[in-house]
Amino acid sequence: MGGDRVRPIARQPPLNAVDHLLMDLSLRALNGFGLGARPGERATIGDPRGWLRAQLRAGAPIVQAPAEATPDQLTAAIEAFRMAGQGAVNDTGRAARQEARRRLTSIAAAESRQALVQRITSARPFVERLVAFWSNHLCVSTAAKVLVAPLAGRYEREAIRPHVLGRFEDLVLASATHPAMLVYLDNLQSIGPSSPAARASGRGRGTARGLNENYARELLELHTLGVDGGYTQQDVQELAKMLTGWTVGGLTPERPAARGAPGGRGVARGRGRAAAIPVEAAGAGVGFAFRPLLHEPGAKTLLGTRYDESGQAEGERAIRALARHPATARFIATKLVRHFVSDDPPPGAVDRIARRFRETGGDLALVAEALIDLPEAWTLEARKFRTPQDWVVAMLRAFDVADAGALVLPVLRQLRHPLWSPQAPKGFGDTAAEWADPDSLLNRAELARGMTRRLRLPRVDPRALADVMDIAPGDPLRRFLDDASIAVEERMALALAGPAFQWR
């Protein structure tokens, strides 16, 4: 192959009757449901559907915090960041802020590396794909706020992983009470307009902070009902009121009054002074906290249902009701079928998944089994264009490389797809139209060549790639991979940038 560049080939190859007959079901399971086949793996999985179901029966995919991101280290980093923000604006203060940000970034990088290695090495890639799907569905973004960065990995470990094979309502509730989500969508700042804290603050300074609707709106539009789910602006406001008082403890010093402690002063009386009042150490036990003094009192009505005043329980009841709503079942089914079957979800497949979701009360393991059973998922027409993250992870699985986490992070940034960093609360896109533009394809082609060089895999035989891609017998790519007159790196780069590998 001549020239300096490997030309990308993005168009999906034409289908014919022979292709249908020759489709490799094992590769469909490994690539379509999993995260990419490894050389020799398709000969070991046996029954493809049985292999996928077995992954669901092994329990929640729990992982431990990386050594560089323990709770103590997170606490220390947040405390350092807070203290740096209070320092003087001089060279010393700027250096302290820079160092504080570096510590937060270091934790975020450790979390990212661990998450990527988990995807690359997992023996349950279908479950890891589900983790990535739900993490993106209920996304937070490190690009939005500096304090989200060290919390995003913890969010996936603590809020997403334990529930991906459980009930959807528990998953959403875990997301709603996690510090990362409360910071990202501003609910920690939301104060009921008639709450004791707002009234006291208004009397004291005339600057009462108010209701923040950001999280309530995304909870309705993006996490449960969907934009066409039949809610109104009034519903957004009522849900936001229910969720007032849902905040984060341990991020900043807090007076006992703000926590609702008996005998406290300060916020409860509209006083800003804290000198005589003991405070919590910033960063100590960063986690969900319900502050009754910030909560909007009185009954609320959401989607026609009245919720009597019950503090934190109001929001919990509302979230569980939203998670069980028929519109939610439809919305979630559409996204799942789009992710596992086609950019244009077949209506019949969506109907079956939505019905399974309703019948099981949102049991996500049973819904995942229903995805396996979809006939539409086992045809060549169902192929999906790999997102950048999927493409890079599949590449490393194809090379059976386990220790490339640090190498991959800048590659994902170059491909506009870094972990936990979507530009909007709707998460990263999931269709070819969003990832297969000419610049992105050319970028992939260049990176394919660069990765094959940087990974330094002298013993890799390019012909092994034919074992991880569904290549028709007459496809010229097979002859190309066999052609020893062409450099090994060129053969591998073209295969990875070509359509057989770009589509899963």
Handedness of CA 13, 19, 20, 26 (dihedral sign): negative
338-341 contacts at long range (C-beta below 8 A, 24 or more positions apart) = 338/430, 338/431, 339/133, 339/384, 339/430, 340/32, 340/33, 340/371, 340/374, 340/377, 340/384, 341/374, 341/376, 341/377, 341/382, 341/384
77-83 contacts at long range (C-beta below 8 A, 24 or more positions apart) = 77/103, 77/104, 77/106, 77/107, 77/150, 77/283, 78/104, 78/147, 78/150, 78/250, 78/251, 78/282, 78/283, 78/286, 79/281, 79/282, 79/283, 81/146, 81/147, 82/251, 82/252, 82/282, 82/283, 83/282
In single-letter form, the type of residue at position 291 comes to R
Rounded to whole angstroms, the Cα distance separating 136 from 18 reads 36
Separation in Å, CA 248 to CA 78, 244, 262: 13, 12, 20
Rounded to whole angstroms, the Cα distance separating 318 from 186 reads 19
What does each of the 504 residues of the chain score in pLDDT, given as a tens digit? 333 343 443 444 444 444 444 679 999 999 999 999 998 999 999 999 999 999 999 999 999 999 999 888 988 898 888 888 776 777 787 888 889 899 999 999 999 999 999 999 999 999 999 999 999 999 999 999 999 999 999 999 999 999 999 999 999 999 999 999 999 999 999 999 999 999 888 754 444 468 999 999 999 999 999 999 999 999 999 999 999 999 999 876 555 455 554 333 333 333 333 232 233 434 447 899 999 999 999 999 999 999 999 999 999 999 999 999 999 999 999 999 999 999 999 999 999 999 999 999 999 999 999 999 999 999 988 999 999 999 999 999 998 887 776 788 999 999 999 999 999 999 999 999 999 999 999 999 999 988 888 776 666 788 989 999 998 888 899 999 999 999 888 899 999 999 999 999
Which of 419, 388, 392, 387 shows the shortest CA–CA distance to 142? 419
Q: What is the Cα 341 distance to its own chain's centre?
A: 19
Rounded to whole angstroms, the Cα distance separating 126 from 58 reads 12
Rounded to whole angstroms, the Cα distance separating 132 from 352 reads 23
Rounded to whole angstroms, the Cα distance separating 395 from 41 reads 14
Which of 479, 487, 395 shows the shortest CA–CA distance to 445? 395
pLDDT at residue number 95: 87
Q: Name the β-bridge partners of 246.
A: 290
Token pair 């998670």 in the structure block, residue: 323
Token pair 């509209």 in the structure block, residue: 270
Residue 272 neighbours by CB under 8 Å, 6+ apart: 204, 205, 266
189, 190, 192, 196: CA torsion to nearest 10: -10
Q: Three-state DSSP class for 296?
A: coil
Rounded to whole angstroms, the Cα distance separating 236 from 86 reads 36
Q: pTM, whole model, 2 decimals?
A: 0.89
Token pair 């108010």 in the structure block, residue: 210
In single-letter form, the type of residue at position 122 comes to S
Q: Name the β-bridge partners of 248.
A: 288
In single-letter form, the type of residue at position 151 comes to L
Rounded to whole angstroms, the Cα distance separating 208 from 201 reads 5
